[in-house]
Amino acid sequence: MSTATYTVTGMTCGHCVSSVTEEVEQIAGVTGVDVDLPTGKVTVTSDAPLDDAQVKGAVEEAGYQLTS
């Protein structure tokens, strides 16, 4: 079990949160995604440590940017 937190910019509403959540949930091994809209913090839990590039790709697929 692994947990990582990322910061996503550009999310402005609940729809944005849903879009990011749905994309990140599709990454193999991801067991949970929690998004805090005001701060842009996205906490991802997974079976094993994730490849940050995959998370970045998922966030960008949803239409947003990863800052860290």
Q: Which residues bind a second copy (CB under 8 A)?
A: 12-13, 15-16, 19
Closer to a second copy by Cβ: residue 15 or 68: 15
Closer to a second copy by Cβ: residue 13 or 53: 13
Closer to a second copy by Cβ: residue 2 or 18: 18
Please, what's the b/e burial string for 5-43 (b: 16 or more CB within 10 A of its CB; e: otherwise)? ebebeebeeeebbebbbebbeebeebeebebeeeebebe
CB of residue 23 vs a second copy: minimum separation in angstroms?
A: 13
